[in-house]
Amino acid sequence: MALRPLPRGFALFGRERDGTRQLSRSDQTQGILILCSAIFLFTLMDATAKYLGQFYSPAQVVWARFMGNLVVVLLVFRTRFLPMLRSRHPMFQFWRAVTQLASVSLFFTSLKYIGIAEATAIMDMNPVLITLGGALFLGETIGWRRILGIVAAMIGAMIIIRPGAGVFHPAALLPLIGAFTFAAGALLTRMVRADALGTSLIWSVMVGAVASSAVVPFFWEPIRAEHLWAYGLIGCFGAASQALLIRAFSIAEAGAIAPFGYTGVVWAGVWGWLFWGVLPDIWTVIGAAIIVGAGIYIWSREKKLAEHG
Q: Residue 18 phi/psi, 5° resolution? A: -85, 0
Instruction: Tell me what the pLDDT averaged over the chain comes to.
Output: 80
For residues 295 and 259, the answer to whether their CB atoms sit within 8 Å is: yes
Coil vs helix vs strand at 168: coil
Say what the alpha-carbon torsion angle 106, 207, 268, 39 is, to the nearest 10 degrees: 140
pTM, to two decimals: 0.75
Asked if pLDDT for residue 9 goes beyond 90, the answer is no
The whole-angstrom separation of Cα 88 and Cα 111 is 36
* Coarse DSSP helix, strand, coil percentages of the chain, rounded to the nearest 5 percent: 75, 0, 25
Q: Rounded to the nearest 5 degrees, what angle is found at the Cα of 105, between the Cα atoms of 197 and 187?
A: 40
Within 8 A by CB and 6+ apart from 153, the residues are 127, 128, 259, 262, 290, 291, 294, 295
Mean pLDDT of 9-30: 49
Helix (H) / strand (E) element for 275: namely helix 263-276
Confidence band of 283 (pLDDT split at 50, 70, 90) = confident
Tens of pLDDT, residue by residue over 134-143, are 777 767 666 7
The whole-angstrom separation of Cα 163 and Cα 286 is 16
Asked if pLDDT for residue 305 goes beyond 70, the answer is no
Asked if pLDDT for residue 230 goes beyond 60, the answer is yes
